[in-house]
Each structure stands twice: as structure tokens, then as C-alpha cells.
Amino acid sequence: HSVYRHYGLSIQAWDSWLWDKVKELMVGIIVMSVVVWGLVAAIRKSPRRWWVSAWVGAVCFTAALVFLAPVVIDPLFNKFEPLAVHDAPLAQSLERVVDRAGLRIPVDRMYWMAASEKVRTMNAYVTGLGASKRVVVWDTTIANATTPEILFVFGHELGHYVLGHIPKQLGILAAIFLVL
């Protein structure tokens, strides 16, 4: 954190940063508790073939985390509000880009994020799966970039969805989990 503060990337106070680390730890403890519980249950249920159900469980649990993260985990760390409330024309422009990409993310699933409370960097991205899929634009991006620049950054991030990087990443993780 001190390196990010030294170079002016972060403006987050130490107490806020430490609180975020405590929340990360608590989320990690909960996630790992579920993982360990599932692993122990798989071993007890089938001592010879536990690894098959553990693998299936790991893949399903990872997909569930990708689905739930934008709705449950991300709001623990940042403030989100509807983008249309902060910049309706930008929300409409982003919706046109999403439509051109062949995806369906309505304006009511486009969010403004209060990043300026913690960082000076800029970003816009797509997150989630299925019904939790959403667009997020940081307030620092809106404040420091023009609409075409924001659409450019967002277009790059949207490309990850269009190119199927999320399913591919889940597939790679599934293969790693199988080997483990």
C-alpha cells in the first residue's frame, strides 16, 4: 500500500486500507471454510473416488463465486450506484457498444463505482455471469476521460467477454483443479 501511495496511485487512508484487508480475510475464511467442508464431505462420502466429487464441487463453487462476486463481495469494498443517475448519456453510449458486441446488458445493470475514495487510477469493466453480469465504470474514469476514451477502455474490457475469456478461464481452472 505504501508503494501505491508513494506513486500517487492510491489515496486510501491506512485505516480504510486495513479495514479492507480485514474484510478480505473474513471473505477468505468463509470461502476456505466452505472449500474444506466440501472436501472433507467428499472424502467421507467416497474414500476411493473423493477426488471426482471434489473436482466437480470445485468447478461449481468457482462458477458460483464468479456469479456472486459482483452482487455479494464487491459491494463490501466499494460503493456502487446506477450509472444512469450519474451520467445517463454515457450509460446509453455503453448500451450501444454492448448491443454492437452482441451482448445483452441493460442500462439498469450498468453501475458507477466510487473509486475516487481509494485510488486515482481509471477503469471500466464487465463482471459477473448470467443474471449477475454488469458494467462498472469508475468515477475517476468519468471525471478524467472523455466519452470516446471511456468507450475505448470499456470496449477493451468488453472484448474479454466477447472472446469468451470467462468460460475459457473457468475451463483452465477446471483442468488445474483436476490435476490438483
Residues with catalytic roles? 157
**Nearest to 16, CA basis, from 140, 121, 113, 116:** 116
| Residue pair 67/128 in contact by the 8 Å Cβ criterion | yes
Q: What is residue 49's three-state secondary structure?
A: coil
CA angle, corner 155, sides to 153 and 158, nearest 5? Answer: 115
Query: What letter would DSSP give residue 119?
Result: B
